[in-house]
């Protein structure tokens, strides 16, 4: 928890519910210990989508399809969503959830390692949601930026690693040090690339919002 728990509880207490199906999918995911985006992140994502009004969305990390469905309910008619997932046990669950929501024609699920799948895509995607293995974000970035047009928005979730990212590498458990180093490198890249304007926000487990501009 990187934000005072009482503040998060208060903010979430003001929130309104999602659609009945999304509420059910969220409950099922939590019961199965499947990580999905936090309530405060859900609201933030809705606002970004309503501001951006994307036509093509790319999501890296489908899980059980919750965030893809959340996005599908908050975009203009005709918006297409492409989502990538590598975990075999979650793929059929996501496909079933898309069927339950009658969104199979709007949401395309691509199976496989995102590092390989991204190389096969042409884009452009005017909104990209990064919510996969945190240690891989830095490896996905070159292709993600290739697929993002000027004016496009990249949203990277869970960039604070429950606060570990601000710690010295020696204060982080040895098994987490590679992820720690890669996430710090990723955040540095987002803030220092000439063609990106990035804000890192202490919301949920940390979110980075980047807008691509023409290279100076």
Q: What is the rounded CA–CA span in Å between residue 145 and residue 130?
A: 12
Q: Per-block average pLDDT, block size 10, for the chain (216 residues)?
A: 79 87 94 91 96 97 96 95 95 97 96 96 96 92 97 94 60 66 90 95 91 80
pLDDT at 175 (0 to 100): 63
Q: What is the rounded CA–CA span in Å between residue 176 and residue 100?
A: 37
Q: What is the rounded CA–CA span in Å between residue 194 and residue 216?
A: 7
**195-201 — which CB contacts under 8 Å span 24+ positions?**
195/145, 195/150, 196/145, 196/154, 200/159, 201/44
pLDDT at 133 (0 to 100): 86
Q: What is the rounded CA–CA span in Å between residue 114 and residue 174?
A: 26
Model-wide pTM > 0.85? yes
Residue whose token pair is 């990209």:
128
Q: What is the rounded CA–CA span in Å between residue 212 and residue 99?
A: 34
In what order do the strands lie in the sheet containing 107-111? 107-111, 80-85, 56-60, 127-130, 153-157, 207-212, 196-201
């Amino acid at each position: 928890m990187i934000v005072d728990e009482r503040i998060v509880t208060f903010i979430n207490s003001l929130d309104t519910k999602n659609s009945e199906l999304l509420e059910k999918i969220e409950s099922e995911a939590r019961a199965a210990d499947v990580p999905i985006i936090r309530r405060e992140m859900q609201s933030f994502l809705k606002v970004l989508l309503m501001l951006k009004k994307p036509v093509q969305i790319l999501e890296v990390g489908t899980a059980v399809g919750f965030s893809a469905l959340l996005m599908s309910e908050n975009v203009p008619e005709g918006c297409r969503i492409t989502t990538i997932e590598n975990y075999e046990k979650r793929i059929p669950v996501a496909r079933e959830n898309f069927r339950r929501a009658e969104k199979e024609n709007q949401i395309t699920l691509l199976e496989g390692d995102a590092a390989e799948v991204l190389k096969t895509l042409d884009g452009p995607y005017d909104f990209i949601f990064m919510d996969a293995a945190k240690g891989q974000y830095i490896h996905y970035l070159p292709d993600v930026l290739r697929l993002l047009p000027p004016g496009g928005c990249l949203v990277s979730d869970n960039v604070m690693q429950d606060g570990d990212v601000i710690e010295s590498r020696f204060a982080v458990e040895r098994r987490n040090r590679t992820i720690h180093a890669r996430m710090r490198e990723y955040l540095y890249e987002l803030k220092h690339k000439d063609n990106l304007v990035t804000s890192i926000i202490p919301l949920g487990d940390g979110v980075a919002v980047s807008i691509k501009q023409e290279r100076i």
